[in-house]
Amino acid sequence: MTLTIYLLAFVGGFVIMSLELLGGRVLAPYFGSSIYVWGSIITVFMLSLSLGYLFGGRLSLREPSLKRFGTIFVAAAVFLYPLVYFSEALMIWIFQMVEDPRYGSLLASGVLFIVPTIILGMISPYSVSLLVESAHEAGQVAGKLYFVSTMGSALGTLATSFYFVLWFEINTILTLLTAALLAMAAVSVLVHKFGDFE
């Protein structure tokens, strides 16, 4: 089960940073790519992740299992994929209401990304709860897990900024991220049922 959890945490970190970078591309046609826009995106993601960490920690107290862990990935996919169809319409609606790039980008970032990012933020604390077997090893386990998750974030940043945005349209990348989340949900269920692939 350990290898599976690390894999899930890695992919979760990858998706978070990939989505954050895509946020800049989604907002740019309407609000530009100034420091205001990136400040709004980063703020929304940081606040959303902090809430995700809180909710994920609480959820992990209720008989944590790989099967239930998989539902977090399904939920993230369910709230991420609609961006493919509705992000442009939402951006137009928000831009017509608030043209100021500071507050408009902040509102747009919140509307588009807060829910999926909160759910993605639940992955790390839930992973820790599944891995920790005693209080004595909690720090070491958390350290390894956040190392793996952050490595996933670093790879997601490079892959998205160096390659994905050059190879694919934004909606295609969002679809691929959704598919990755659903694949991890399937892995969770299969390993829960049949055992790890270590």
Contact (Cβ atoms closer than 8 angstroms) between residue 84 and residue 174:
yes
What percentage of residues in the chain have a pLDDT greater than 70?
94
User: Do residues 41 and 109 make contact, with C-beta atoms less than 8 angstroms apart?
Assistant: yes
pLDDT band at 13 (very low <50, low <70, confident <90, very high): very high
Query: In angstroms, rounded to a whole number, what is the distance separating the alpha carbons of residues 157 and 92?
Result: 27
CA distance 164 to 148: 22
Instruction: Give residue for tokens 């992955």.
Output: 123
pLDDT in tens, 157-191: 999 999 898 999 999 999 999 999 999 999 888 88
Q: How far apart are CA 25 and CA 125, in angstroms?
A: 29
Mean pLDDT of 25-51: 90
Categorize the per-residue pLDDT at 126 as very low, low, confident or very high, splitting at 50, 70 and 90: confident
User: 2-192 has which CATH code?
Assistant: 1.20.1250.20
* Secondary structure of 35-67 in HEC code, one letter for each residue: HHHHHHHHHHHHHHHHHHHHHHHHHCCCCCCHH
Q: What is the pLDDT of residue 5?
A: 87
